[in-house]
Structure 1
Amino acid sequence: MKEKEKLIIETSMKLFANKGFNATSVQEIVEECHISKGAFYLYFKSKDALLFAIMEHYFQMIYTSINEVEHADLPPYEKFQKQLERQLTEISRHKEFIVMQIRENAIPFNEKIESLLMEMKRESYHLYSRRLYEIYGPPIEPYIWDATMMIHGFFHSYLETIILDQIPLDFAYLSTFVLRRMDDMVEGLVKSGDEPVMRKERMETLLHVEKAQLCSLLGEASSKTEDENTRVSLDVIKEELEKEEPRKVVIKGMMANLESDPSLRPLLSALKEYTV
C-alpha cells in the first residue's frame, strides 16, 4: 500500500468514527490529509470504495497482529490465548469506527463486501479450529467444528459487550477465561459421545469458495501488489485454477511464495481446498 493511500484510509477512519460516514465529505477528508481531490480520486472512486478499503485495511491490521504470534515458539494453549487477546485489542482500538458502521448502516452490501466478510469468517474459523486441534488433539476431531463455533460465539458475545455496551474488560484475563471454559466444554463433548452437529461436510459447504470467485480475487490481488514475484505467483495460481484440471503441485508451490505476506493469508486459506 502506498503512503498516500494509507494516509487517506487512516485519516478517514478517524473522521468517520468522530463525525459519521454520511456527515463526512470528501472535501473534509482531503483537507485533513492536505491533498487535492484529484489525489483522492486517484486512489478511490468514491466514499463507498474508500469504506471498503478501510474494512480491508482494518482486517489486515487485525490479522497482522495475530500473525506475529503465529510463528512464536509458544505452547499451543499460550499461543491461542495471546492471539485471542491480540484480536480483542485490535478490534477494541477502533470500536468507535465499528459503532459508526452499525449506527449508520454505512456498509453497502454488494458482492465485494460479502466476499470480504466471508473471508474474515473463514479465516477466524480456520484459526480457531487449528488451535483447538493443537491443544486437544485427536479426541476433539469429531467435534472440532462444533467447538470452533462455540468459541466463536463466546468471543463475539463478549465483543458486543465491549463495543456496544462500552464495558471495559481485561483482555488478557478474558481470553484466558474463555479458553478455560473451552477446557470444560471439550471434556464434556468428548465424554458425551453425542453426534456432532457441525460435521466436516457441512463446514466444507459453508467455507467453500467457487473457482470463479477465487480467480476474481487473485486477479484483484495481482493488480494491487507492487512486488513482481508476488504478482507472478498470483497470476500462475489464477491460470492453473482456470484450467479444467488444475495441477495441485503448482498451486502449492506458488502459495509457498506468498505465505510471508499477511494480507494474502485469507486468500491462501480459501485456496487450500484446491490443494488437497
Structure 2
Amino acid sequence: MKDKKRRIISEAKTIFRKKGYLLTSVTDIVEASEISKGTFYNYFTSKEELAITIFKQEYSVLYQRLDQIMQEEDKTQKEKFKTCIELLVKFHIKNAEILNISFSQATLDDDFNQFLLSVRSKSVKWIKEQMLLVYGKETEPYLNDLAMMLTGMILLFVFVSSKRNKERARIPEAVDYVMNRMEVIVKDVVRTKEIVLTDEDMDGFTPDHLSLKKRRMGKLKNLVEDLLMKIDAGQIADSDKWQFKETLNALLAELNNKETPRSFIIQGAILYLKQQVPKNLETEISKLESQINELL
C-alpha cells in the first residue's frame, strides 16, 4: 500500500516538473504510476491534495536544512545566511513549477490556494527573522521592504535560470552579487529611514495565520453541516442515524465552542465515523478527516 502511494508521489513530482502543475492531469499521473484511477483516489481525493502533500514534503525538508545551517557554530550569522540564500535559490530552480504556482494568479482549488499563501507567508517571515539577526535591530522598522527586495532579487535570478540550462546557472556568483547589494541597500535604508511597505500592505501578500485558520474552520463546519443534512435526507440507515448525528453534533460543538479544539475529542469522533461510515459517505468522511488534520 505504502509503495503505491510513494510511487504516485514520485511520478507526480516528475510530471509536475516536466509539464507544470496546471497542465498535469490525474490521468497523466495514473498512467505514469501504472495504477487505476480507483487506486489513485484511495490515497488522494484530488490532484490538489496530492500536490499539497508533495509540496509539504519538499518544504519540510528545505526548512529543516535551513534551520540546521543557521544553528552551525563555526560560521558568522552573515555566512550562514548567505549559505541559506544559496540553498533557497537551488531549491527554487529545481522546483521552478512550485514557485510559478505560488506567485501566479491562476485559479486553483481553494485549499491549494490557501496552502500556497501559507508557504509564501512562512518564507517571508523566515527571511525577515534572519535579516534581523544578520543586520541588527536597527533594521527592524524596515524589514518588510528589505525582505521583499531580497525576495525580488532571488526570484528574478530563479526565473532567468529556470529558462536556461540549469547546469549553467552561476548560483554562487549570483548569491555573492545579491548579498553585496543587500549590504549597501540595508545601510542606505537605515540611513534614510524610508519605509514603503507597512504591515497592512503585507497582510495582502502574507495573510495572517489566524485568519487562515478561521477560514479553514469555517469550511470544516460547513462540511459537518452538509453531512448532517445528508443523514437527515436518508443517506444512512435509520438504525445508525442517531449515533452518527450525535457524533457529528459533538464534533460541530467542539469546533464552535473552543478557541483551541480538543484534538482527542475530534480524533475520537473521526475514528468512529471512519469505522462505521456507509459506502456512500466515505468520500465526505475522508475529506473531513483531511481538513481536520490540516487544522490541527
The normalised TM-score by structure 1 is 0.65
Q: What are the within-5 Å matches in structure 2 for residues 26-175 of structure 1? A: 26=26, 29-30=29-30, 32-73=32-73, 74-95=75-96, 97=97, 108-166=107-165, 168-175=168-175
Alpha-carbon spacing, 1:129–1:22, altered in 2? closer, same or farther (3 Å) = closer
- Structure 1, unmatched stretches of 5+, are 220-238, 251-270, 272-276
**Structure having the higher Rg:** 2
8 A contact 1:85–1:171 mirrored in 2? yes
Whether the aligned pair in 2 keeps the contact of 1:142 and 1:199 (CA below 8 Å) is no
Check whether the contact 1:215–1:242 (CA below 8 A) recurs between aligned residues: no
Distance in 2 (CA, whole Å) between partners of 1:204 and 1:11 is 36
Distance 1:86 1:218 in 2: 36
Question: How far did 1:86 drift?
Answer: 1.1
1: CA distance between counterparts of 2:120 and 2:25? 31
Identify the range of structure 1 (200-209 vs 159-168) with the bigger mean alpha-carbon deviation: 200-209
Residues 1:185 and 2:196 are matched in the alignment: no
Asked whether the equivalents of residues 17 and 100 of structure 1 are also in contact (C-alpha less than 8 Å), the reply is no
Say if 1:23 and 1:119 are closer, same or farther in 2 by CA, change over 3 A: closer
Tell me which of the two structures has the higher relative contact order, counting C-alpha pairs closer than 8 angstroms and 6 or more residues apart. Answer: 1
Q: 2:208: which partner in 1?
A: 208
> Deviation string for 1:110-150 (max 9, x for gaps)?
32122112112111111111111111112211211111111
Structure 1 165/138 Cα, relative in aligned 2: closer, same or farther at 3 Å?
same
Corresponding position of 2:277: none
Equivalence for 2:197: 198
* Equivalent-residue separation in structure 2 for 1:90 and 1:114 (angstroms): 21
Normalization by structure 2: what TM-score?
Answer: 0.61
Instruction: State how 1:203-242 maps to structure 2 within 5 Å.
Output: 203=202, 206-209=206-209, 210=211, 211-213=213-215, 215=217
Q: 1:61 to 1:51 in 2, by over 3 A?
A: same
The gaps in structure 2 that reach 5 residues or longer are: 222-253, 263-295
Runs of 4+ in 1 over 4 A off after TM superposition: 19-28, 97-102, 105-108, 214-219, 239-242
**Counterpart for residue 10 of structure 2:** 10
What is the alpha-carbon root mean square deviation over aligned residues? Answer: 3.9
Is the contact between residue 9 and residue 50 of structure 2 (CA under 8 Å) also seen in structure 1? yes
Equivalent-residue separation in structure 1 for 2:88 and 2:99 (angstroms): 17
The percent of aligned pairs where both chains have the same amino acid is: 25
Distance in 2, matches of 1:189 and 1:23, equals: 42
Q: How far, CA to CA, are the matches of 2:47 and 2:126 in structure 1?
A: 32
Letter in 1 for 2:54: I
1:127 partner letter? W
Q: Is the 8 A contact 2:145 2:197 kept in 1?
A: yes
